[in-house]
Chain A
Amino acid sequence: MDLGSISLVAFFASLMVASTPILLAALGEMITERAGVLNLGVEGMMIIGAICGFAVAVESGSAAMGFIGAAVGGALLSMLFALLTQFLYATQVPSGLALTLVGVGLASFIGQPYVGESPPAVAKMAIPVLEHIPFFGPAVFQHDAMVYISILLTIAIWAFLKFTRGGLILRAVGENHDAAHALGYKVRLVRVMAIGFGGALAGLGGAYISLIRVPQWTDGITAGIGWIALAIVVFASWKPGRVLFGAYLFGGLTALQLNLQAANVPLLLVLPYLVMLSGVIYLAIAVAAGSWKKTLDVKPTLKTFAQFIGTGLVLLLIGVLTNYASSLDLLLLSSAPFVATIVVLVVISARSKGASNGPAMLGKIFQAH
């Protein structure tokens, strides 16, 4: 065990890199779902984006071209889903699952000649002035362009949904497609566009893994990231800010686990304390914000705090019972970020009012008559 070997700057930098593909894919899926379409094929679109991006980047020698190719590849695959669900009225859940199967198989096929190749390097884009801030500079402001783009996209999507007419129409279509149709909006067109946007962002997310995070091509390179992106959309209550939070939470836990593993400390050893610490931080923020706005609701706040502490204790107990330090295998370790992210997001979404209400038309078939 050697906790001292972990560098905080490196940890935060790797957190942002680990989070970006999830954030991109989850933002795209959020837009698709806000339009009332449930596309479970995120994993498939991501891996197609990963191979398309990789192939285009290797052939053209330009990483930027690779990302464009990835977006186009992801969007093209999503059009298969659009064809099935919007024009042939297939049920969305099995269509999405099929899309993942097709995507994974197709990516493996396309990727055969690219195993062992290495893609062109992606230049870091340090932000002038800000990069020299001690600690924050190297941790936050010395990344590649995609990291900044993903965060700008989050803001842009938030503003699009909240302030623009296009965003209003998108939400309206997801909320009540019959009413939107009666008012003369083109429900199918809006949905096809939302599906395509979701596909393009999933593709970008996939390419980020194969071009920057890993960077090489192997089968199954996305390793379940698409599924966690799907879960984050739901538990983030279809809100861009919370999607960002959820993606960074998962990315952070993944990065933490890798760092701890390198320092020979299992994440499960730290996790219970981490969860309890989050509880304390939550309580502090809630009390501060509540007394500032004079709206502190003591009971639910304490309840959430107790949930955090309780979760931490349960995790601690599991750790003790399974004798974590010596016997836990790698598989269980790598599942920890998944489990922890879901637990935290469930706690958040359970306590906010109406959070369980996704777009009312989510997954429903629309046929104009």
Chain B
Amino acid sequence: MTELLKLQGLTKAYPGVIANDDVGFSIAKGEVHALLGENGAGKSTLVKMIYGLTKPDSGTMTLHGASYVPTSPQAARAAGVAMVFQHFSLFEALNVAENVALGMENPPKMKDLAKSIRDVSHAYGLPLDPDRTVGDLSAGERQRVEIIRCLLQDPKLLIMDEPTSVLTPQEVEILFKTLRQLQSEGTSILYISHKLEEIRSLCDGATILRLGKVVGTCDPRATSARDMAELMVGETLHIPTRDAKASGAELLAIKDLNYAPKNPFGTRLKNLSLTVHAGEVLGIGGVAGNGQDELLSMLSGEARAQTGTVALEGKEIGKLGPNARRTLGLLAAPEERLGHAAAPNMSLIENTALTAIIRKDLSKNSFINWTKTESFAKDIIATFDVRTPSATAAARSLSGGNLQKFVIGREVMQDPKVLVVNQPTWGVDASAAASIRQALLDLAASGAAVICISQDLDELMEISDHFAALNEGRLSTPRAAKGLSIDEIGLMMGGSDTVSDTQTTEGVPA
């Protein structure tokens, strides 16, 4: 195979950190090349340089044997480099055709463009209606918009940043089929992912980054996922463990909950029922935007439910707000770390006071006891290994993983009866993720109930006793997590399980 893109000695430094240090590798024509690394390993910076969003401080890139110095994404696209972003670069209020046009240099007339979108989407098995508003599309469909936007420009190199993190297993299969078709047509793909099994089934070669440096290359087909993970982390991986246990008394019960969010792009919750018991971890899967945020706000008390739908230890709490629920022992940690779970510009101590003031008794006559708050904040930092210069550091100054450990630790250490977490390890590196999962398991082992909403199926299978999936605001019947096949999970996430409730409930092992 001939060489398409060659990187040599790429270095890029930001104030205080060297994001890329002498990075070099090459991608052959028609090769699917994986770029592996933890969060903060420098993958995004590298990709931004290839796509012309930032300039390297030093080093060279060659494309087709000629020097390649993209000064802007437009220049990169003109040279045949296209990119599908992790956080989709789409415009919700615009329609599909307009979104595609925005990613092209010389888009044809809207009518012709709509036609070519239909043609390409059929050719690659990715059906898409050019007239629909993107805000109404599912995550999988949105990704199709991005991919088709790239394909219409006939790229030589397609960069995909974490493309499967928001897809159902079935959608992943469709995506892989498309990518293999592209590969067979001679397109090279630079594939960035955390998901090692995917890389093993899809990629021809892999480069592993750690702390901005290339620490290894491997043939993913011949290397085990565990070996690749340890190359990424640079240490032996600790995998969370749990003991088998009998579930205890029923703690939280939701019955026929309906909720229409005020946000027009939000998801309506429909007839949602679930129960969790002491010592149980209930995993709730599903593709983003199927009601996860709405479910969390119903549980945390940010939105009020109808009377008779939410009960904690048999006591009606549907109309109670977050603080009243915290008093009773129902705590929650939302997905968005900065701005929802923590106030970005306030210190860790102040952020501690914000949710722990009631249960940890941190105030007297409305005056905050800062000494006590500080010592509790320091407790959290020590117990959860939060790497921060001090407890007075602003929440926004922490890295994502460290802040996440703090956010989860703050709730876990308040001894909740029921803890609800949404995406507890989103964007967190493997070792921090493992310790967060271990903390959730330990909490359940101590007799609390945990509801874990997540899009990471591996995570849910690792920690859940029972598993259910959200689809368009409906929750499938929870089933024992052990022994669930990936196909069954896919069906639950696709919503077909909820239709045949009566049949599947008989199959649940008691």
Footprint of B on A, CB under 8 Å?
A: 165, 168-169, 171-172, 175-176, 178-180, 182-185, 354, 357, 359-360
Contact of B89 among A171, A179, A357 (CB under 8 A): A179
CB of B92 within 8 A of CB of A184, answer no
Assuming the contacts A168-B98, A182-B85, A183-B102, asked whether A176 and B90 have C-beta atoms less than 8 A apart, the reply is yes
Contacts of B72 in A (CB 8 A): 184
Contacts of A182 in B (CB 8 A): 53, 73, 85, 89
Give the CA-CA distance A80 to B285 in the complex, in Å: 50
Give the CA-CA distance A299 to B28 in the complex, in Å: 63
CB of A178 within 8 A of CB of B89, answer yes
Contacts of B73 in A (CB 8 A): 182-184
Residue of B with least CB distance to A184: B73
Q: How far is the CB of A175 from chain B (nearest CB, A)?
A: 4
Give the CA-CA distance A42 to B386 in the complex, in Å: 49
CB of B92 within 8 A of CB of A168, answer no
Give the CA-CA distance A180 to B74 in the complex, in Å: 12
B52 within 8 A of A: yes
Q: How far is the CB of B90 from chain A (nearest CB, A)?
A: 6
Contact of B52 among A176, A184, A185 (CB under 8 A): A184
Contacts of B87 in A (CB 8 A): 178
Assuming the contacts A171-B94, A172-B94, A354-B264, asked whether A183 and B101 have C-beta atoms less than 8 A apart, the reply is no
CB of B101 within 8 A of CB of A165, answer yes
Q: How far is the CB of B103 from chain A (nearest CB, A)?
A: 6
Ordered by A's residue number, 14 sampled pairs between the chains whose C-beta atoms are within 8 Å are A165-B107, A168-B101, A171-B93, A172-B91, A172-B102, A175-B91, A175-B92, A176-B90, A176-B92, A179-B85, A179-B88, A180-B91, A359-B93, A360-B93
Footprint of A on B, CB under 8 Å?
A: 52-53, 72-74, 77, 85, 87-94, 98, 101-103, 107, 264
Q: How far is the CB of B291 from chain A (nearest CB, A)?
A: 20
Q: How far is the CB of B150 from chain A (nearest CB, A)?
A: 11
Give the CA-CA distance A1 to B454 in the complex, in Å: 72
Contacts of B107 in A (CB 8 A): 165
CB of B91 within 8 A of CB of A179, answer yes
Contacts of B88 in A (CB 8 A): 179
Give the CA-CA distance A179 to B88 in the complex, in Å: 8
Q: How far is the CB of B406 from chain A (nearest CB, A)?
A: 24
Contacts of A185 in B (CB 8 A): 102
Q: How far is the CB of B158 from chain A (nearest CB, A)?
A: 15
Give the CA-CA distance A357 to B98 in the complex, in Å: 18
Contacts of B102 in A (CB 8 A): 168-169, 172, 180, 183, 185
Give the CA-CA distance A168 to B87 in the complex, in Å: 21
Assuming the contacts A169-B102, A184-B72, asked whether A360 and B92 have C-beta atoms less than 8 A apart, the reply is yes
Residue of A with least CB distance to B110: A163
Query: What is the count of residue pairs linking A and B with beta-carbon distances less than 8 angstroms?
Result: 52
Contacts of A176 in B (CB 8 A): 89-92
Contacts of A179 in B (CB 8 A): 85, 88-91
Contacts of A180 in B (CB 8 A): 91, 102
Contacts of A165 in B (CB 8 A): 101, 107
Contacts of A175 in B (CB 8 A): 91-94
Assuming the contacts A168-B102, A182-B53, asked whether A357 and B93 have C-beta atoms less than 8 A apart, the reply is yes
CB of A357 within 8 A of CB of B264, answer yes
Contacts of A171 in B (CB 8 A): 91, 93-94
Give the CA-CA distance A184 to B52 in the complex, in Å: 9
Q: How far is the CB of B96 from chain A (nearest CB, A)?
A: 13
Q: How far is the CB of A172 from chain B (nearest CB, A)?
A: 5
Q: How far is the CB of A91 from chain B (nearest CB, A)?
A: 14
Residue of B with least CB distance to A358: B93
Q: How far is the CB of A178 from chain B (nearest CB, A)?
A: 7
Q: Which of B53, B74, B77, B87 gathers most chain A CB within 10 Å?
A: B53
Closest 7 CB pairs of A and B: A184-B73, A179-B89, A175-B91, A182-B89, A184-B74, A184-B72, A176-B91
Given contacts A176-B89, A179-B85, 17 further A-B contacts (CB under 8 A): A165-B101, A168-B98, A169-B102, A171-B91, A172-B102, A175-B92, A176-B90, A178-B89, A179-B88, A179-B91, A180-B91, A182-B85, A183-B102, A184-B77, A185-B102, A360-B92, A360-B93
Contacts of B53 in A (CB 8 A): 182, 184
Give the CA-CA distance A182 to B61 in the complex, in Å: 20
Residue of A with least CB distance to B14: A369
Residue of A with least CB distance to B53: A182
Q: How far is the CB of A111 from chain B (nearest CB, A)?
A: 42
Contacts of B98 in A (CB 8 A): 168, 172
Give the CA-CA distance A359 to B264 in the complex, in Å: 14
Q: How far is the CB of A310 from chain B (nearest CB, A)?
A: 25
Q: How far is the CB of A336 from chain B (nearest CB, A)?
A: 33
Give the CA-CA distance A227 to B259 in the complex, in Å: 38
Give the CA-CA distance A90 to B53 in the complex, in Å: 25
Contacts of A172 in B (CB 8 A): 91, 94, 98, 102
Q: How far is the CB of A136 from chain B (nearest CB, A)?
A: 36
Give the CA-CA distance A176 to B93 in the complex, in Å: 9
Contacts of A357 in B (CB 8 A): 93, 264
Residue of B with least CB distance to A368: B53
Give the CA-CA distance A176 to B265 in the complex, in Å: 15
Give the CA-CA distance A172 to B87 in the complex, in Å: 16
Contacts of B89 in A (CB 8 A): 176, 178-179, 182-183
Give the CA-CA distance A176 to B102 in the complex, in Å: 12
Give the CA-CA distance A178 to B88 in the complex, in Å: 10
Contacts of A360 in B (CB 8 A): 92-93
Contacts of B91 in A (CB 8 A): 171-172, 175-176, 179-180
Q: How far is the CB of B345 from chain A (nearest CB, A)?
A: 14
Give the CA-CA distance A176 to B92 in the complex, in Å: 8
Residue of B with least CB distance to A186: B72
Contacts of A183 in B (CB 8 A): 73, 89, 102-103
Give the CA-CA distance A3 to B30 in the complex, in Å: 83
Q: How far is the CB of B510 from chain A (nearest CB, A)?
A: 48
Give the CA-CA distance A180 to B94 in the complex, in Å: 13
Q: How far is the CB of B106 from chain A (nearest CB, A)?
A: 9
Give the CA-CA distance A169 to B102 in the complex, in Å: 7
Contacts of B101 in A (CB 8 A): 165, 168
Contacts of B93 in A (CB 8 A): 171, 175, 357, 359-360
Give the CA-CA distance A287 to B255 in the complex, in Å: 43
Give the CA-CA distance A354 to B91 in the complex, in Å: 16
Residue of B with least CB distance to A359: B93
Give the CA-CA distance A174 to B1 in the complex, in Å: 44
Give the CA-CA distance A357 to B87 in the complex, in Å: 22
Contacts of A169 in B (CB 8 A): 102
Contacts of B103 in A (CB 8 A): 183
Give the CA-CA distance A46 to B129 in the complex, in Å: 44
Contacts of B77 in A (CB 8 A): 184
Q: How far is the CB of B47 from chain A (nearest CB, A)?
A: 11
Give the CA-CA distance A165 to B73 in the complex, in Å: 18
Give the CA-CA distance A165 to B104 in the complex, in Å: 11
Give the CA-CA distance A109 to B52 in the complex, in Å: 49
Residue of B with least CB distance to A353: B264
Q: How far is the CB of A294 from chain B (nearest CB, A)?
A: 21
Give the CA-CA distance A182 to B72 in the complex, in Å: 10
Contacts of A184 in B (CB 8 A): 52-53, 72-74, 77
